[in-house]
Amino acid sequence: MPFKRVLQEHRSAYWVVVLGGFLAAVALIFFQNEAFYRDFLTYLRIEPSPPAASRPARLTIDFGGGRKRAFEGQIEEGMTILAALRRSGEAGEFAVLTDARGEITAVAGIRSSAAKRWRIYRNGAAVTDLAGHVELQPGDRIEMRYE
Residues 60, 127, single domain; the answer is yes
**Domain containing 29: what range?**
3-44
Task: Name the nearest CA neighbour of 106 among 119, 115, 97, 117.
Answer: 97
Residues 19, 85, single domain; the answer is no
pLDDT digits (tens, 9 = 90+) for 96-122: 999 989 899 999 999 999 999 999 999
Residues 6+ apart with CB under 8 A from 109: 94, 95
Residues 66, 17, single domain; the answer is no
Tally of residues, the chain: 147
Instruction: Report how far residue 87's alpha carbon sits from residue 34's, in angstroms, rounded to the nearest whole number.
Output: 53
pLDDT digits (tens, 9 = 90+) for 68-83: 999 999 888 899 999 9
Residues 78, 99, single domain; the answer is yes
CATH number reported for the structural domain that contains residue 65 in this entry: 2.170.130.30
Prediction pTM value: 0.62
